[in-house]
Amino acid sequence: MATAAFSTQRMDPYSPPPEHLRLQEVEPVSQVGWQNDGKIWAITKHADVRAVLSDSRFSSDRTLPGHPTNLGYAPGNKLKQLIEMDPPEHTEARGRVMGEFTLKKISAMRPRITEIVDQALDAMLLGKSEADLVEALALPVPSVVIAELLGAPYEDHDFFQKNSSAFADPHASSEVRMEAMGRLKGYIADLVNSRVENPGDDILSRQLAAGANPEDLTGLGVLLLIAGHETTANMISLSIATLLDKPELLQQLRDNPELIPGAVEELLRYFTIAEIGGLRLSTDDIEIGGTLIRSGEAVFAVCNTANRDPEVFPEPNKIDFTRGARNHVAFGFGPHQCLGQNLARLELEVVLSAVIRRIPTLRLAIPFGEIPFKEYGPTYGIFTLPVAW
């Protein structure tokens, strides 16, 4: 069996780690080295990843001893987020909020999201010929969108942006990251408490009316803030960097704007930026891909290699906007599949459409090889993206 430490660090901005792809080819269910001299089962094939993520016997509860993301949770900690819950707790909590993210409800947000994107582009283009696209567009758009969904004042979006980025920074110390998380929790808790007395037209108010308790709702608010902001921002910057590095793809979308929804799906598949979303703990003896995984063993359903499985995606390392890649697992799979995926898709579609339409001369201001990628961290992405026009 493979024994080398298993790392999510990417050496090539366009590819999962070579060891991940090698394991998929030679030993798709293999026990590998993990943090603190531990072991974890790496699951790398598309069908096996979906099997793990859809089976509730692979627990998401990070408070459990032995869970690969256990961070020393205090017993009885009530500020659990949806991603940390198992049934029946998860089923009930997710069921309460799912109505906020239906395709119909999110589609109705298109005019407002278009307005937010255009305002960000107006500010970026005004009197200038270059900018950091991460700072000017990729971060502000999802930040404003999620702030409005939560009913937070517009002027607080800088606070959201600063602290969620600090929490997700893989180079920051654990103290800095936890301080940022503490500030976010405190802010959301205050926002929830204000809605108890003064409800508005926002997710927090509607969840309170539906019976959610303030502590659970604080956990949900923090999750929506970080997941809805940081991940979408990274996909915006990665998508635009790719189009600028591969002008034939950019021209394809200019010539055929109707391909943009398919391009969004393909880019989601190709990058699969949520690096550690598939971490689980087995709570029973379960067979996956012909291999027995024992109760109490840690499991990593590796979505970025699942999305490069040649049995599901022919020529998986090629970007093909006509592929029809909706069966990818970039948003996970099963009961924990990303709650905000419809919103993320819409934001990406609107941003790509606006950038392609409004800035025909957009180009990278530095060589692609000099772009600072987030090679290691909970979410893959780009730190800064200098562009010019």
What's the rounded mean pLDDT across residues 129-158? 90
Predicted pLDDT at 69: 81
Residues 270-310: tens digit of each pLDDT: 999 998 889 999 999 999 999 999 999 999 999 999 999 99
| CB 387 within 8 Å of CB 131 | yes
Q: How does residue 76 score in pLDDT terms, banded at 50, 70 and 90?
A: very low
Cα–Cα distance, 305 to 46 (Å, whole number):
8
**CA gap 352, 337 in Å, rounded:** 24
CATH number of 18-388: 1.10.630.10
Query: Per-residue pLDDT tens for 349-369?
Result: 999 999 999 999 999 999 999
Q: Looking at residue 240, what is its pLDDT?
A: 98
Low-confidence winner among 31-45, 144-158, 258-272, 312-326 (lowest mean pLDDT): 144-158
Residue with tokens 């255009």: 118
Residue 72 has a pLDDT of 42
Residue 280 backbone dihedrals phi, psi, to 5 degrees = -145, 170
What are the extents of the domains in the chain?
18-388
The answer to whether 61 and 336 have CB atoms below 8 angstroms apart is no
